[in-house]
Structure 1
Amino acid sequence: MSSSLIKETVIEGKEIIYKSPVIVTPLLDEVTIDFNGIKDIVSKALKESNIDKNQISTGAVIITGETARKENAEEVSKNLSEYLGDFVVATAGPKLESLLAGYGSGASEMSKNLSRRVVNLDIGGGTTNVSVFNCGECEQTFALDIGGRLIKFNTDGKIIYISKRIEFILKEMNLNIQVGRKPKLQNLIHICEKLSNCLLEVCCLKELSEDTKRLFISEGYEPFETDYISFSGGVGEYVLEDHRKISIEGTQKHNDIGPLLGNCISREFKNYKNIILSPKEKIRATVIGAGNYSLNISGSTIAFEKAALPLKNIPIIKPFEKKENLNEIYNKVMKKIDLLNESMVAISLIGPRSPSYEEIKLIGNQIIKVFKIVSGPLIVILENDFAKALGQVISLNLEEKREVICIDKISTKNGDYIDIGLPMGDAIPVVIKTLIYNS
């Protein structure tokens, strides 16, 4: 293999040839996803799009939101990937989902273009996922139990479900909202106004209350100064609509409080209209596919252990976008690693062009420190050509036996995934996958 750098995947263009309707995830019960139901939905979409699944080279299966909390979420994502082919598979935790929605809605791009902080609130059925971007870079993500399907109705308007996560609020507010009964519109408005106020608080536009703190799913919230706000997700479709239109019919559109919640958010945020941006995508603010490139890497310039291979769909963390500080590798990686709901990761670095032994040892020690917390083999991807030396240094300094894989001459970015196959002679096959968004 030549010593020239293998460039990262660049998506030069995309064309959407089919969009399926938005469909509520089929469930067998409140804690179990109906895999056969999902498979039927996908099969129908393939048929309507006139695409043979054997023609699809790669894609993405990412389970998010309330569905990701179901007991068989990971099993369903794996089975669906096997049914479709060589797809990126992820069961996104709240932090990763927040990040994906921030990219998919266009909030990251808007933040970069405006050189300002943009807060994106992706409000779905069961959760609100918040991402904070400053000049295009994600500063933090977090999630709350606020969504449109926290209260659900049957076709007669009677409540069939109330999320346990908001029962304490209903009790504190003394609202007569009960399963099996038709609720009063004003009571529904009161709970939606309360949840809308919670969103004002997490945008640092009001003081954070104890009730809002109890709704947090994830930890690590840090106050910030809000420049702009955008709303995505299913409930986001109803934000900024005419907030004077409030009626019980609003709950019948999807048999939940989603439209009413969006309406109340519009009213509660009316004093901040001047800083609210319209996202490029709302309910479809997510991943729409994946692109990939494949290569074979010479075994003479890299370090790997055959026993650890093959590996598939390993998320890549790139701690530095531009200038690297070798002493900060551990700290930078740990800030990004909690976004992922994965047990294994790969760390991507540019690295010095002609590193000294001391620099290689410093990088190695930082990597070892990270993988004391992360399970699985130590996987490092370098742009510059010193993978074999780094792999040897890491192996020599490990306190316990771990598989080490170091490969070089590859450029990646955060959010990419890597497949590493079984050796073929003195080379190993590598596939880099990058997620594609609609925005």
Structure 2
Amino acid sequence: MENQIYSIGVDIGTSTTEVILSKLKIKNVLGTSLIRETVIEDKKIIYKSPIVFTPLLDEVTIDFDKVRDIVSEALKQSEVDKSSISTGAVIITGETARKENASEVSKKLSEYLGSFVVATAGPKLEALLAGYGSGASDLSKKLNRIVINLDIGGGTTNIAIFNCGQCEQTFALDIGGRLIRFDEQGRVVYISKRIEFLLKDMYIDIKLGKITELIELKILCKKLAKCLLEVCCLNELSEDTKKLFISEEFEPFKVDHISFSGGVGEYISQTEEYIQLEDALCHNDIGPILGASISKEFENYKKMLIAPKEKIRATVIGAANHSLTISGSTITFDKDILPLKNIPILKLFNENEDIRKIYVQGKKKLSIYENTEVAVSLKGPKSPSYEELKIISNEMIKLFENISGPIIILLENDFAKALGQVISLNLRNKREVICLDKISTNNGDYIDIGLPIGNAIPVVIKTLIYNS
């Protein structure tokens, strides 16, 4: 079986909005266990839209009609019919994810584009997609090294750490190029509340309505650049940096290589001394100064720096090319209830997994998912015996007596078909069963499950965080 499908990525960021269309080749191959698997064999970008400023109705509202027009024009220019799009993601990133209508815009746009173009926001997924789109993941795999990618946009820095190609951590901070904005005369028209504490604590004289001295902007950007040194584990983590975290903090690590993507990443080759105020404010924000300050602060680590394959387009390329996962051919599913969207994931064990305690662990965590469909996530034994399959089956059936909707189980290891069959045989009452493997998740994630492609199922693991 070989299919070609179209995928779209839409990134509605703090500063800019862009659209990417890709063609993905889906193919059946013979896996290492001599079982046919469905894989994404090839990804080809067929259209890149111009990068335009994100349209806003006011400081707190995204202009949905203009965003939709941007997407419609991209489809027209690419000559891809909307009905031909099978997958993709609408990502609302940075400070734009905090706009009052962010959730509504992403949902309406994903519905406009098709049944399996997901609406998503949240720094974890953004960081992961930017790491893929920038090429950091591939480079980490090629070099067998730890690569950290810092995607610095208008409102946030989304960070992903890859070890030999596998993402080990993601996190995000309120550091970006449009945390302070100016009008055409150079007067400050916006200061993000997220950095007000820094201005106050450092006695930096930047105020709304006032033309600011370049030296004040450099002091602030130098501080933000030092914060990025700290999150690369090159300096001790300060209390100021801790206050800038959007997500949870990270586990310390030792990095081999560092790459910078995002809009600010385009300016990380300039020197601080070169920048004059008129040059610095070419985009009416602090992006160029921040980029130059990062170059200065990371000067002693030049040997660790690597150039990403993509900078400003990294996230949107990740959304178009890497948001889709294929769960293999040895799975169980009831086609009639697909597609499913925005199903919360309940991960039972973070470590010390005990299949005899599936029900006990799940029951403890179910209170936050009252009266809603849930997907239960488990690593599971690598090659389970029939006795182990029966134990997992009985525990899951008992757990799902407390959960509405279909039985949805996500496994990291490859035994979904066997487990699904055992569950179906042991159910007392008729109930739909979806059991997928090769899916790695975290608590707080959501899953979209699409229509089958041959004998495989496309899924997207995502986070949904707005107005935080």
Q: Shorter-normalised TM-score: what interval?
A: 0.7 to 0.9
The answer to whether the 8 Å contact 2:346/2:374 transfers is no
Q: Secondary structure at the match of 2:90?
A: strand
1:171 deviates by 0.8
Alignment of 1:338-377 (within 5 A): 345=375, 347=377, 355-362=385-392, 365=395
Q: Secondary structure at the match of 1:12?
A: strand
Is residue 91 from structure 1 mapped to residue 123 from structure 2 by the alignment? no
Distance 2:214 2:296 in 1: 16
Out of 394, 408, 419, which is 1:387 matched to? 419
* Residues 106-135 of structure 1 deviation map (CA, whole Å, 9 limit, x = unaligned): 111111222221111110111111111122
Out of 64, 86, 109, which is 1:35 matched to? 64
Alignment of 1:138-153 (within 5 A): 138-153=167-182
The answer to whether the 8 Å contact 2:263/2:312 transfers is yes
Distance 1:243 1:360 in 2: 65
The residue aligned with 1:164 is 193
Name which of structure 1's ranges 138-147 and 29-38 shifts more when overlaid on structure 2. 29-38
The answer to whether the 8 Å contact 1:418/1:430 transfers is no
The answer to whether the 8 Å contact 2:158/2:172 transfers is yes
The answer to whether the 8 Å contact 1:152/1:162 transfers is yes
The answer to whether the 8 Å contact 2:264/2:290 transfers is yes
Distance 1:107 1:170 in 2: 33
Out of 248, 254, 265, which is 2:283 matched to? 254
Distance 1:276 1:217 in 2: 25
Distance 1:70 1:395 in 2: 45
Distance 1:394 1:241 in 2: 65
Distance 1:219 1:368 in 2: 33
1:344 deviates by 5.3
Is residue 213 from structure 1 mapped to residue 245 from structure 2 by the alignment? no
The residue aligned with 1:418 is 449
Alignment of 1:399-410 (within 5 A): 405-407=433-435
Distance 2:401 2:136 in 1: 32
The residue aligned with 2:216 is 187
Normalising by structure 1, we get a TM-score of 0.77
1:220 deviates by 3.6
1:312 deviates by 3.5
Q: Secondary structure at the match of 1:386?
A: helix
- Counterpart residue type for residue 12 of structure 1: D
Is residue 432 from structure 1 mapped to residue 458 from structure 2 by the alignment? yes
Distance 2:326 2:252 in 1: 42
The answer to whether the 8 Å contact 1:95/1:129 transfers is yes
1:18 deviates by 2.3
The residue aligned with 2:48 is 19
1:272 deviates by 0.6
Over the residues paired in the alignment, what is the CA RMSD in angstroms? 4.2
Change (3 A) 1:54 1:360: same
1:36 deviates by 0.9
**Residue correspondences, number:** 403
Q: Secondary structure at the match of 2:117?
A: strand
The answer to whether the 8 Å contact 1:196/1:261 transfers is yes
Out of 52, 57, 77, which is 1:48 matched to? 77
- Counterpart residue type for residue 101 of structure 1: A
Is residue 8 from structure 1 mapped to residue 34 from structure 2 by the alignment? no
Name which of structure 1's ranges 193-202 and 136-145 shifts more when overlaid on structure 2. 136-145
Q: Secondary structure at the match of 1:59?
A: strand
Alignment of 1:324-339 (within 5 A): 327=354
Distance 1:256 1:403 in 2: 56
The residue aligned with 1:155 is 184
Out of 111, 120, 124, which is 2:140 matched to? 111
Q: Secondary structure at the match of 2:159?
A: strand
Q: Secondary structure at the match of 2:47?
A: coil
**Going by fraction, where is strand more abundant, 1 or 2?**
2
The answer to whether the 8 Å contact 2:344/2:373 transfers is no
1:304 deviates by 5.7
- Counterpart residue type for residue 433 of structure 2: I
1:232 deviates by 0.7
- Counterpart residue type for residue 152 of structure 1: R
Change (3 A) 1:168 1:353: closer
* Residues 174-204 of structure 1 deviation map (CA, whole Å, 9 limit, x = unaligned): 1111111111011011100010011111111
Distance 2:325 2:314 in 1: 25
- Counterpart residue type for residue 157 of structure 2: T
Distance 1:363 1:220 in 2: 36
Unpaired segments of 5 or more residues in structure 2?
Answer: 1-33, 363-371, 462-468
Question: Among the aligned pairs, what percent are the same residue?
Answer: 52
The answer to whether the 8 Å contact 2:406/2:433 transfers is yes
Name which of structure 1's ranges 222-231 and 39-48 shifts more when overlaid on structure 2. 39-48
- Counterpart residue type for residue 235 of structure 2: K
1:92 deviates by 2.5
